[in-house]
Amino acid sequence: MSPLVQVEQLDKRFGEVRALDHVSFEVEAGEWIAIMGPSGSGKTTLINILGGLDHPSAGRVVVDGLEIGNLGERELTRYRADKIGFVFQQFHLVPYLTALENVMLAQYFHSITDEKEAAQALCRVGLSDRLSHVPAELSGGEQQRVAIARALINQPKLILADEPTGNLDETNEAIVLKLLHDLHDAGHTILVVTHSQAIGNLADRRVELEHGRLARISAPSLAKD
């Protein structure tokens, strides 16, 4: 069985700057991968390319059998709607939509909306009493949970999370990590960009980048529960 994600000799340049330099790795379906490295090492660039938000300069990226580099804008949009669930550090919720509507927005772009299903997704992340609240009325942790519910609503093949706990306090970080852990246990494939050793230790494998190059791929030294 072929891996869900194949990255081969991936290059990305911004003018003279080489953000990614011949990066290669694979991710099996159901794996939790932590992408780690110092600031400017190319982590977000890598996740943007995997999510179809950016184009590679060279190399191959294949996700669920689709070579992303060959996709046009329309196909990339469809790819994002069908196969990817994004969780961002800044949450990125639409400020004038309620928590429920933010989740339904992803459904709307994917196919058809189902309010009941969206409400259930929010219940699963513990926000059953926050459905009609707009982001300004939610705490950071609650906003991130809305974003997680939104990322999951279309059953994506791949969940891409960019520093999902970067803006959260310890309590909310624990809640979000528990959610990611549960998703992993449920068989979702998760790629998390993080600086946090704690999150890195929860992953099946760590892909570490330095100056755009793949430094190492390792299994966490601490045992997971």
Partner 1 sequence: MFLRILWKLLGASRGRLAVALIALTSGAAVCSALLNVNLDAERKLTQEFRTLGANVVIAPPAGGNEAALADAAVLDRVAALHISQIVATAPYLYVAANSGTQPVILAGTWFDQVAKMNSWWKLEGGWVSSRDDHEHCLVGFTAARQLGLAPGSSVQLRSGDRNISLTVAGIVTSGGAEDNQILTNLDSAQALAGLSGRVSLVQVSVAGTPAEIEGVTRKLAGNLPGLDVRPVRQIAAAEGTILGRIRGLIFWTIALILILSMLGVLASMAALAMERRRDVGLMKALGGSVQHIMRLFLFEAATLGAVGGVVGFLIGVVLARWMGERIFGVAISARLEVLPITIALTIGVALAGAFPLRLLGRVRPAEILRGE
Q: Where on the chain is the footprint of partner 1 (CB under 8 A)?
A: 44, 48, 51, 53-54, 73-74, 77-78, 80-82, 84, 86, 88, 90, 92, 94-97, 101, 104-110, 113, 150
Taking the C-alpha atoms of residue 14 and residue 110, their distance in angstroms, rounded to an integer, is: 31
Tokens of 116: 């009941």
Q: Indicate the residue among 69 and 220 with the shorter CB distance to partner 1.
A: 69
Q: Indicate the residue among 1 and 136 with the shorter CB distance to partner 1.
A: 136
Q: Indicate the residue among 24 and 90 with the shorter CB distance to partner 1.
A: 90
Rounded to a whole number of angstroms, the minimum distance from the CB of residue 72 to partner 1 is 12
Rounded to a whole number of angstroms, the minimum distance from the CB of residue 106 to partner 1 is 5
Q: Indicate the residue among 92 and 181 with the shorter CB distance to partner 1.
A: 92
Q: Indicate the residue among 136 and 186 with the shorter CB distance to partner 1.
A: 136
Backbone angles phi, psi at 41, to 5 degrees: -85, -10
Strand duo 158-162 + 189-193: pairing? parallel
Q: Indicate the residue among 109 and 139 with the shorter CB distance to partner 1.
A: 109
Rounded to a whole number of angstroms, the minimum distance from the CB of residue 78 to partner 1 is 7
Are the C-beta atoms of 215 and 183 separated by less than 8 Å?
Answer: no
Rounded to a whole number of angstroms, the minimum distance from the CB of residue 62 to partner 1 is 19
Rounded to a whole number of angstroms, the minimum distance from the CB of residue 50 to partner 1 is 12
Rounded to a whole number of angstroms, the minimum distance from the CB of residue 207 to partner 1 is 20
Rounded to a whole number of angstroms, the minimum distance from the CB of residue 94 to partner 1 is 6
Taking the C-alpha atoms of residue 85 and residue 70, their distance in angstroms, rounded to an integer, is: 21
Strands (E), the chain: 5-14, 17-27, 32-36, 58-63, 66-67, 84-87, 158-162, 189-193, 205-210, 213-218
Task: Return the closest-CA partner of residue 61 out of 74, 41, 45, 77.
Answer: 45
Are the C-beta atoms of 157 and 189 separated by less than 8 Å?
Answer: yes
Backbone angles phi, psi at 61, to 5 degrees: -130, 120
Per-residue CA distances from 18 to 43, 54, 68, 212 (Å): 13, 14, 19, 7
Q: Indicate the residue among 19 and 62 with the shorter CB distance to partner 1.
A: 19
